Amino acid sequence: MNPVNPTLETSWKEALHSEFEAPYFSALKTFLIEEKRKHAVYPPGHLIFNAFEHTPFEAVKVVILGQDPYHGPGQAHGLCFSVPEGIKQPPSLVNIFKEIHRDLQVPIPAHGNLGKWAAQGVLLLNATLTVRAHTAGSHQKRGWEQFTDAVIRKISKERSGVVFLLWGRYAQAKESLIDTTKHHVLKAAHPSPLSAYNGFFGCGHFSKTNRLLKQQGLEPIDWSV
């Protein structure tokens, strides 16, 4: 079975060709096959690379980095922080919408599907792209981080002027992969209820991102969903 998702968007398939052929990715695929034999795994297989499907390599203007997919039924659909329509908004996403409302007066939406952002060039990337049901962090250190670090490095090397939003210490550790002389890095606390009041609320990242995009002559993001 080819480890490359057969529907993976063409520009990413080309950009990440060497990763899909690397030994670690083959080991990751073997692990996932075994996991799926024993456990429920989220998101469903056809949605694992959903972030790449929505946002082609040359279209990336903003990167939001998450850690793990949601591990509850029906939540994860391959876009970090996002949930499909009809699924209750998780607490971190609720706080993201609160900050957008405070920052830009955008109404708080009734659903949590961030696909509209992704279609505008916001790469919604989790560091780990799969998780065992009800077990946070269960697929960490199995190879996904090596893959998504390569994604960040590829964007850093071959693109310019991308705005990276790094929320929380885990995401901020990825700054070392980014050439900050040609990209913009905005850092704040994680939007989780445990830390949002320590600097996520009030960070203004959404208006700041749009200012940085406009300075480059790029279309700002419509942060409504």
Catalytically annotated residues: 68
93 in Cβ contact with 195 (< 8 Å): no
Give the residue carrying structure tokens 């060709």: 17
Pairing, β 131-132 against β 41-42: antiparallel
User: How far are the Cα atoms of 2, 13, 20, 205 from residue 5, in angstroms, in the given order?
Assistant: 7, 9, 10, 33
Please say whether the beta carbons of 168 and 157 come within 8 A.
no
Token pair, residue 176, equals 């070392």
Q: How far apart are the first and last CA of the chain?
A: 36
Q: Are 225 and 116 in contact (CB under 8 A)?
A: yes
CA 93, CA 56: separation in Å to the nearest integer? 24
Alpha-carbon distance of 98 to 68, in angstroms, equals 22
User: The tokens of 163 are what?
Assistant: 């705005």
In single-letter form, the type of residue at position 162 comes to: V
Residue type, 112: G
